[in-house]
Amino acid sequence: MLERFRRSFPARRDDPRETPDDPRVTADGPPEAAAPVTVDEPPPAVDPWANPPAGHDPAPRPPAAPEPASGEPATPERADSDPAQAVDPAPAAEPALPTGPRDLPGTAPTIGRAAPPQLGQVNPAIALRPPAVALDGTSAGGFRVAAASLIGAGHLVSGQPRQDSYNFMVGESGRLYVAVADGLGSKPASQLGANLFTESVLIAAAQAEKADPQAEPDPAELLAQASTRTARVVEEAYRLDPRTVGFVGAVAVLDERGCRMARVGDVSAFTMTADGFDEAFTADEGPLNVVSASMPGEKPEQVELVEVAPAGVVAFGTDGFANDLRTSGALREWLAGQWRVPHLPFAIGDTLRYRRQGSHDDRTAVVVWRTGGDDAP
């Protein structure tokens, strides 16, 4: 078919690829030498457009192809016009594989001479292991809630699990219930106790609302019920001694009148103002990471209560976060700017990814924005 096409249309003398007396490029070697022309050879073929047959209008002459510039090679054959001259392209280079491990970039600051992020490890035979990271960001009745719990560098490097826990729930009444717990590092299964406690708080709150929707919930009573249930489940379901799951924790109930909170241990609460953060509880003046009371098995006099007026933003947190907030002005200033508006899950997680010299504990924060009223952000 290709040869018939070539016979139907004479070669153009101005195209070096098709003129018979010019060299041709082949796929196997350099251009072939042109046959020598002698004076006895017949003249070139007659131009069919020069003398058309009588009675026929000549067809328009096709435009001449431009001559190649001096020293510029002739245009090569198209691969689809002559398969014999097609040349396979050079194979593409293999893409370089990235080296790992990778992490996402963040906006949180580095304060002081902090260590770089660590890959971490998992110790053998840790069956009761929660995920290293937990995130939330959602609407909850008349509130917006964002929460993050991140494993600390100390647990990450040593192979221990995250021991913090949080949970929250909106009741049929519209009240918001928040539970936060921090397992004691000296207890071998404290992560189990912390998780069971936050779960048990919500179960107790739901039962209380169902029993009497109009009754005012008591956060201290919810805390005591959750502590009792935790000890019972540990014994009956896990066959463990409740003393092996020790933890500190807090329960908060938020409604249109403000926030009421009960705690055992050093879980903290902060309200955010135009000047920064105000702490709801009196900060413990004793050594860091040393608690004087824990659950289960707490005594009634060890439960602390506090009530705060309605605030646009309230943050609850474990000591890994709270101690950093108390002792770092740079962190307070940065978080005050970030938490003016509600956050989605990955955004709240990024705010706790700051790196600070000496900060190695798990970090947990539950931030609540009130969506109505003059104090709402």
Determine, yes or no, domain membership for 356. yes
Determine, yes or no, domain membership for 336. yes
Determine, yes or no, domain membership for 335. yes
Determine, yes or no, domain membership for 63. no
Determine, yes or no, domain membership for 84. no
pLDDT digits 0-9 by tens, 121-154:
999 989 899 999 999 999 999 999 999 999 999 9
d(CA 366, CA 252): 11
Average pLDDT estimate for 49-56 = 57
Determine, yes or no, domain membership for 5. no
Average pLDDT estimate for 86-109 = 77
- pLDDT bucket at 249, cuts 50 / 70 / 90: very high
Q: What is the mean pLDDT of the chain?
A: 83
The residue range of the domain holding 248 is: 131-370
Number of structural domains in the chain: 1
In percent, the amount of the chain with pLDDT more than 70 equals 72
pLDDT of residue 281: 93
Determine, yes or no, domain membership for 319. yes
Enumerate residues 6+ apart whose C-beta is below 8 A from 343. Answer: 137, 146, 351, 367
d(CA 117, CA 111): 14
- From residue 97, give the alpha-carbon distance in Å to each of 91, 93, 119: 18, 12, 19
pLDDT of residue 3: 47
For residue 63, the tally of other CB atoms under 10 A from its CB is: 8
- pLDDT bucket at 104, cuts 50 / 70 / 90: confident
pLDDT at 100 over 60: yes
Per-residue DSSP letters for 198-219? HHHHHHHHHHHHHH-TTSPP-H
pLDDT of residue 118: 79
pLDDT at 29 over 80: no
Average pLDDT estimate for 231-237 = 98
- pLDDT bucket at 340, cuts 50 / 70 / 90: very high
Nearest partner of 283 among 323, 317, 247, 324, judged by Cα: 323
| Helix, coil or strand: residue 227 | helix
pLDDT of residue 96: 74
pLDDT of residue 25: 43
Average pLDDT estimate for 266-295 = 83
For residue 245, the tally of other CB atoms under 10 A from its CB is: 29
Cis peptide upstream of residue 296 (ω within 30 degrees of 0): yes
- pLDDT bucket at 228, cuts 50 / 70 / 90: very high
Instruction: Tell whether pTM > 0.75.
Output: no
CA dihedral 255, 256, 262, 263 (to 10 degrees): 80
Determine, yes or no, domain membership for 14. no
Q: Both tokens of residue 123?
A: 């110790």
The enclosing domain of 224 has a CATH number of 3.60.40.10
